[in-house]
Structure formats: structure tokens, C-alpha cells
Chain A
């Protein structure tokens, strides 16, 4: 395994661990808002780590640019979705 591949794995394995942690939190936490808290942050960070590892392994500017775009979009979507769902739960719409 080359040095770049080892570096990519060193980024992607923690990313996957964050995904597992977010999923476990979503399964174990008691109510919707705390599940939201576990899921959105852990998943966002996990995806950024995996995308960073993929950018290292791919070694191409075009791929890296698209991976950055994916990270920005998922970050925006995660924040937007978390706020909307939390507001819905708080307003009693889905209590």
C-alpha cells in the first residue's frame, strides 16, 4: 500500500467510525431532538472525512473540486434539514 493510500485510509476509517457513532446515537437516544443532535453532526463530519480521504486517493483536481462541492451541499442540507425538523418537533406538529 502506497503512502497516499495509507493517508486516505487514515482519513476514511475515522469518517466511517463517525457514521457508525451517528447511527448508534440515532438508535439509542430517547427522543427526536436528541436523535437529531447525534445524527446531523456526526454524519456531516464523517462525510467530510471520507471525501477528504477520497480526494487524497484520487489525486485529481476535478474530482477534488466535486468532492468539496458535495461537502458544502451536504453541510448546507444538514443544517437546513436539522433546523426545519427541530422546529416542527418543537411546535408540536409531530410531538
Chain B
């Protein structure tokens, strides 16, 4: 891997982490719980993207499997939120 490609991957990962920071801002401001769950969905997809880039940057292919687990679990969080929020749960 050329140094320029490695540097570009680092820059892309940093930008994606900044996106997660933006999502945290939305969690802070709300105003409803649905908005906060939207941010959680953003975290799921962004973390998957960061892990894919990290697998390229480090050459450790097991990180792709971690990204796969994130992709599955992100769906579970949203379904769990919607399933519980209709019944007066906290």
C-alpha cells in the first residue's frame, strides 16, 4: 500500500468520526426519542464504514466480520426501540 493511499484512508476515517460527533450533537439536542434513535442508526452505519476502512488500512481482515456484526446489531437496536416505545416503556 502506498503512503498516499494510507494517508487518504486516515483522512476518510477522521471525517467519518466527525460525522459520529455530529450525531452525538443530535442525541444531545433531541428533542424527541425518535430523533435520538435516528442518531443511533447513523452510528450503526458510520461505524460499519469506519470498520471497513480500518480493515483496509491495517490489513486485518477480521475487522470486516466485526463490521458485519455491527450491520446486524444496528437493525436490532431500532426494532427493540420501536417495539418497547409503544407500550409506555421508559
- Residues of B near any A CB (own CB < 8 A): 1-2, 4-5, 8, 12, 15-16, 18-19, 22-23, 25-26, 32-35, 37-39, 41-42, 44-46, 48-49, 52-53, 55-56, 61, 64-65, 67-68, 71-72, 74-75, 78-79, 82, 85-86
Contact = CB atoms under 8 A, between A and B. Distances in A.
Contacts of B75: 73, 76-77, 80-81
Contacts of B64: 63, 66-67, 70
Given A16-B12, A77-B75, A26 B23 contact: yes
B24 to A, nearest CB: 11
25 contacts: A12-B12, A12-B53, A19-B45, A19-B49, A22-B42, A26-B38, A32-B32, A32-B35, A32-B38, A35-B26, A36-B38, A39-B42, A43-B41, A46-B45, A47-B49, A50-B52, A50-B53, A54-B52, A73-B68, A77-B71, A78-B41, A80-B75, A81-B79, A85-B38, A88-B86
Interface of A: 1-2, 5, 8-9, 12-13, 15-16, 19-20, 22-24, 26-27, 32, 35-36, 39-40, 43-44, 46-47, 50-51, 54, 57-58, 60, 62-63, 66-67, 69-70, 73-74, 76-78, 80-82, 84-85, 87-89, 93-95
Given A85-B34, A94-B34, A80 B78 contact: yes
Contacts, number: 149
A66 B68 contact: yes
Contacts of A85: 34, 37-38, 41, 78, 82
